[in-house]
Amino acid sequence: VTGKGSTFKIKIPLTLAIVSALIVGIGEERFAIPQLAVVELVRAHGDSEHRIEKINNSRVLRLRNKLLPLVRLDDILKIEKIEAPSDEDAVSATAEDDLQENGFIVVIQVGPQTFGIVVDRVYDTEEIVVKPKSNLLRNIDMFSGNTILGDGSVIMIIDPNGMANQISNDMGTSAEEVEVEEKKEKYSEQTTSLLLFKAGGNQPKAVPLSLVTRLEEINIADIEPSAGRDLVQYRGQLMPLLYVEGHKEMRKSGRQPVLVFSDDDRSMGLVVDEILDIIDTSLDIEINVPQPGILGSALIRGQATEIMDVGYYLPQAFDDWFERREQGDAFKQKRLLLVDDSAFFRNMLSPVLSAAGYDVITAIDPIEALKILRGEPDAFDIIVSDIEMPNMNGFEFAETLNKDNKLKDLPIVALSSHISPGAIKRGREVGFYDYVAKFDREGLVTALQETLETEGEAA
């Protein structure tokens, strides 16, 4: 109706940026963090999988097995805390407990740097208009501007780049320590998939799952004794059944668990009493056992466990299991140097490579390997090297070979428990011809064959 009501004129400044931001609170203050820099929001509390730990008195966040530097927003902005307790230790303990029980952590990424910011509250995400910060604040790089919220409040907008720089300055040493700690954990926590079982006693035994072709249960009635050993028809062929050393008992009736190991068209079965579980764990053989068929003992799930030497049983099934196969003139008498600091992997891979037709020499680390190679620079045709080794890792080993005029043309294949695009790229840069997972036996043999074929064509 003409003459009644109100008319509003709104002017929208088109020169100002509009961004999506996460609104957070610390104390009585609110701040906006550009959503583009926010990776995720984590809630830390007592029963959370995300743990807050300390490295040399600096807090870090363990997020999916990765350690991130962690700072409180009020600390980095120098906002005064209002605490009830007067005792300084009580204040510190209260803040630490509050962080563990009620802390919100905003995970931010700026370029390659990722870190966590602890805030008291998280409100919501909003589309905000970015207003330039005042000239009085131009020297403070922690803020990129300010904005006015819907309730009329004026809040500052956090600059993620400025915060990253500040954290680097304040926590430079701690960040380096976090990186060192991560490298230590990556080396110490390499995991192996193991099959746990029992055979001839209550002490558990283990074998790498990748070596086992199948888990079977055979009918006792189908077992046929022949020439002093037990056989069973398996996939159209007779498969020898072997028993764990010192244990040759079998169930009288019903079905018997058997671990099947295969290579090409040959298979053999290892009779066991009970299959317990399949686990991923770090494997550290602590005690070498002078017993046939046992590589050593390791502590798994708090219990001493015998690690089986599969290579001991395979020739008992077929005398020629490890005899060299005919692979053509290009592959006869190829000499291979296997470099791995783990006795377990050396013992596991040596028979596999011997069966593939190679004369295998082993070295416990790159230092010993270099001594062997420099003593006989023309004696080897190819090298297989682990990546994760102390003192000198596989990448450094390859770089050292490239600097030696007598060894730089020797082909080298990498073995690793951790394969990523970045690791493969670095491997190519330092001279590795191929990059293979440690338990990929077929992949390793194929990689060696293709590498030698490529070298032969190049020659």
Q: What is the pLDDT along the chain (459 residues), one digit of tens a residue?
A: 567 788 777 765 555 578 889 999 988 899 999 988 898 888 866 555 666 777 666 777 877 767 788 888 888 888 876 554 444 444 444 445 555 445 689 999 887 788 889 998 899 889 888 888 777 777 788 888 889 988 889 999 998 888 888 777 765 544 445 555 554 444 444 567 888 999 877 889 998 887 888 889 999 999 888 888 889 998 888 999 988 876 777 777 889 999 998 876 788 899 999 999 988 877 666 555 567 778 778 888 878 888 888 877 877 888 766 554 444 444 456 899 999 987 777 877 887 787 778 889 999 999 999 999 998 888 899 999 999 888 889 999 999 999 998 898 899 999 887 777 778 888 889 999 998 887 677 788 888 988 888 876 655
**Cβ–Cβ contacts within 10 Å for residue 194, how many?**
23
Contact 282, 184 (CB under 8 A): no
Do 139 and 24 lie in one domain? The reply is yes
**What value, to the nearest 5°, has the Cα angle with vertex 435 and ends 264 and 349?**
45
Do 200 and 183 lie in one domain? The reply is no
* Domain of residue 212, CATH code: 2.40.50.180
Do 152 and 33 lie in one domain? The reply is yes
Q: Which of residues 317, 340, 364 is at a domain's end?
A: 317
Q: Which of 135, 264, 263, 257 is nearest to 205 (CA)?
A: 257
Note down the domain range covering 311.
192-317
Do 53 and 110 lie in one domain? The reply is yes
* Domain of residue 182, CATH code: 2.30.30.40
Do 78 and 213 lie in one domain? The reply is no
Do 119 and 213 lie in one domain? The reply is no
Distance of CA 297 to the CA centre of its chain: 24
Sheet containing strand 29-34, edge to edge, reads 121-130, 17-26, 29-34, 154-158, 143-148
- Classify residue 340 by its DSSP letter: -
* Domain of residue 352, CATH code: 3.40.50.2300
- Per-residue model confidence (pLDDT) at position 16: 59
Is residue 8 one of the residues assigned to a domain? no
Is residue 9 one of the residues assigned to a domain? no
Q: Which of 450, 243, 448 is nearest to 354 (CA)?
A: 448
Q: Which of residues 188, 223, 247 is at a domain's end?
A: 188
Is residue 137 one of the residues assigned to a domain? yes
Is residue 322 one of the residues assigned to a domain? no
Burial of 356 (0-12, 13-18, 19+ CB in 10 A): buried
Do 344 and 228 lie in one domain? The reply is no
Is residue 248 one of the residues assigned to a domain? yes
Do 96 and 175 lie in one domain? The reply is yes
Both tokens assigned to 38: 């926010």
Both tokens assigned to 175: 């960040």
Do 173 and 39 lie in one domain? The reply is yes
Q: In total, how many domains does the chain have?
A: 3
Give residues with Cβ within 8 angstroms of 335, minimum separation 6.
358, 359, 361, 379, 380, 381
Do 337 and 270 lie in one domain? The reply is no
Do 446 and 376 lie in one domain? The reply is yes
Do 217 and 296 lie in one domain? The reply is yes
Instruction: List C-alpha distances in Å: 253 to 32, 109, 198, 218, 222.
Output: 72, 62, 19, 10, 10
Is residue 375 one of the residues assigned to a domain? yes
- Give phi and psi for 402, each to the nearest 5: -65, -25
Q: Which of residues 144, 167, 188 is at a domain's end?
A: 188
